[in-house]
Amino acid sequence: MAKKLTQKQKEKLFQQHKNANFQASMALDGYQVEAVTLSAEEALARLEQVRAEYER
């Protein structure tokens, strides 16, 4: 019997499918898009960099 997924697992699975669908859609349009994978810390650091640049 299969176990039910937790909410966090469901969100991760949804995000993986969303990324795969986006890449496939872009490929149909002739574009090659690489998936960007960042940890939570890396994403927060990147947000701070972008904010610092645009909130001068």
Rounded to whole angstroms, the Cα distance separating 7 from 13 reads 10
Q: Evaluate whether residue 33 is within a structural domain.
A: yes
Q: Evaluate whether residue 2 is within a structural domain.
A: no
How many domains is the chain partitioned into structurally? 1
Range of the domain at 50: 7-55
- What are the residue ranges in the chain where pLDDT is below 70? 1
Nearest CA-CA partner of 5 in 54, 50, 13, 28: 13
Q: Evaluate whether residue 45 is within a structural domain.
A: yes
Q: Evaluate whether residue 18 is within a structural domain.
A: yes
Tens of pLDDT, residues 19-33: 889 999 999 999 988
With contact defined as beta carbons under 8 Å apart, do 48 and 40 qualify? no
Q: Evaluate whether residue 1 is within a structural domain.
A: no
Q: What global pTM score does this model have?
A: 0.54
Q: Evaluate whether residue 40 is within a structural domain.
A: yes
Nearest CA-CA partner of 20 in 8, 3, 37, 44: 37
